Amino acid sequence: MAKYDFEIPKLKEYPEVPELVDGTMDHMETFRAKPEFQEALGFKGELGENWKEDAIEAMGDLLGKYRSLQVYLDSCVKCGACTDKCHYYLGTKDPKNMPVARQDLLRKVYRRYFTFAGKFFPKLVGATDLTEEILDDWYNYYHQCSQCRRCSVFCPYGIDTAEISMAAREIMDRIGLGDKYSNEIIGKVFKIGNNLGLPEPALADTLEGLEEDVLDETGVEVKYPLDMKGAEILLVTPSADFFAEPHVDGLIGYGKVFHEAGVTWTLSSKASEAANFGMFIGSYENMRKISLRIREAAIELGVKRIVFGECGHAWRVAYSFLNTLAGPFDFLDPNYPVPQHILEFTYGELQKGTLNIDKSENDHMVLTYHDSCNVARATRMGDKPGGQFEIPRAVIKAVCNNFVDMAPETIRGTTFCCGGGGGLLTDDLMEVRVKGAMPRMEALKNVIEEHGVTNMAAICAICKSQFTKVLPFYGMDMDMIVSVHQLVSNAIILTGQVSEDDEDGADED
């Protein structure tokens, strides 16, 4: 672990609401995007002289476009139900990380410039002028929100802090104050096709390597095709699946499932990324442009179905917005969900009985499952309510003998964010990432102690990378985090697979 100079929260047996400590996180300012990153996304390069007027104008524009934003800014009654629901508040004790306070950073400026009372009696209604100090607060604290929407579950008015935080980031982007992490990455998607900046030859080389590995391990030629025209399925998956661990073990699993299901599939070098950081920065234009790559790739390759790999926010964009962003998808086969989640696909195959599973291959593990925030609270899977909770668990239980859930208030609809979502997965925000992971770490530690859990499975690239990084801060092993399709991959016996026992036997002969 590299040197970090902050206190790591102590994990407790029961969650405790911390006493407020003012300003613990006001030093946390993520790197700003350089003008070139800003301009590539259609934003102003840097703050101009008239940044205040620009910001008010941008706010007015968003209020006109998104009725929800105005409703959220108007309707808070300060009941306090949200205050102790945010993992960043619980982990940092900073009152500005309470959802209501985070919203108020924007609300008080909204009131000043857009409401009658705020224009004429600002002090009476908590309205304030937009100042540099407030802009700093916006920048620092709207980049300490992972847009996980746990607070909105508890809000009696359903105020969605994520939408407010997205709007705030969009306003800042427009006036020339964007964050480096998200905006540099979106630029790479436009230029190269994915968040990593992985060019087509490197992608092809990586996939070839996977084919070799699977052949070595199983004796079966499982293909990981790229740009194969006429394939039935286009798989759109986060580029971390090509690059990082345990992500790649999940990708190996998707390939094995497709192979056994007997369908043809392909990845695309054009749409070699499921992630859509346009959502994190609240930019409809960028979100749309990123989504259109998927449409173009699907048309060029002539596929009939689109399946998404394990990526949390990508599934939100896909499930909730893809049709209006990049539709209509009338050229796809209407007999299948448009788009479909890889877990729905695998679940379907498990039910049909096409996969030969040996659960004992995962007997060295006791699993628990981390519900990713965007999947849990913004999407669904399958055709039944709650499918986004049940299908991942059903798949895990179908391939593993040992499964235990974490405490009920920390999973499913009330799941705690991993601490790195919403465009915060950058090293310069490590303090907020580590502290924000505290509630999840606490719940995990409890099932480790009570039930002997050894591993936690997830279906989001950000969650997987975040846990790999933060687990060691809490004294746990980075390898604890696994992909759900890694478990599937372990348990599948491919048709014609040479088992290790057979090989040993052959050696003896």
The least CB distance from residue 497 to another protein, in Å, is 21
Distance, C-alpha 40 to centroid of its chain: 23
Omega of the bond prior to 238 within 30 degrees of 0, cis?
Answer: no
Question: By CB under 8 A, is residue 213 in contact with another protein?
Answer: yes
At residue 143, φ and ψ (nearest 5 deg) are -100, 20
- The tokens describing 173, both together, are 């982007």
From 270, 288, 268, select the one nearest 279 (Cα to Cα): 288
Question: By CB under 8 A, is residue 35 in contact with another protein?
Answer: no
Question: By CB under 8 A, is residue 199 in contact with another protein?
Answer: yes
Question: By CB under 8 A, is residue 270 in contact with another protein?
Answer: no
Report the first-to-last Cα separation within the chain, whole angstroms. 48
Question: By CB under 8 A, is residue 275 in contact with another protein?
Answer: yes
- The tokens describing 110, both together, are 């909204």
Dihedral sign (CA 433, 438, 440, 446): positive
Q: Which stretch binds another protein (CB under 8 A): 107-115, 232-240, 486-494, 500-508?
A: 232-240
Span 471-490, contacts to another protein by CB under 8 A: 478
Of positions 25, 105, 231, 248, contacts another protein by CB under 8 A:
248
For another protein, the closer CB: 343 or 418:
418
Question: By CB under 8 A, is residue 390 in contact with another protein?
Answer: no
For another protein, the closer CB: 29 or 227:
29
The least CB distance from residue 276 to another protein, in Å, is 12
- The tokens describing 352, both together, are 């049909």
Q: Which stretch binds another protein (CB under 8 A): 105-113, 120-128, 202-210, 386-394?
A: 202-210
Burial class (CB in 10 A: 0-12, 13-18, 19+), 360: exposed
Dihedral sign (CA 62, 66, 70, 75): negative
Question: By CB under 8 A, is residue 205 in contact with another protein?
Answer: yes
Question: By CB under 8 A, is residue 190 in contact with another protein?
Answer: no
Question: By CB under 8 A, is residue 428 in contact with another protein?
Answer: yes
Residue 459: count of CB within 10 angstroms of its CB: 29
Strand, helix or coil for residue 208: helix
Span 150-189, contacts to another protein by CB under 8 A: 180-181, 184-185, 188
The least CB distance from residue 248 to another protein, in Å, is 5
Rounded Cα–Cα distance for residues 107 and 138 (Å): 11
Rounded Cα–Cα distance for residues 413 and 371 (Å): 8
Of positions 56, 311, 443, 480, contacts another protein by CB under 8 A:
311
The least CB distance from residue 415 to another protein, in Å, is 18
The least CB distance from residue 420 to another protein, in Å, is 9
From 470, 428, 422, 370, select the one nearest 145 (Cα to Cα): 422
Length of the chain: 509
Question: By CB under 8 A, is residue 462 in contact with another protein?
Answer: yes
Interface residues with another protein (CB under 8 A) are 1-2, 31, 180-181, 184-185, 188, 194-199, 201-202, 205-206, 209-210, 213, 238-240, 242-245, 247-248, 273, 275, 311, 425, 427-428, 461-462, 464-465, 478
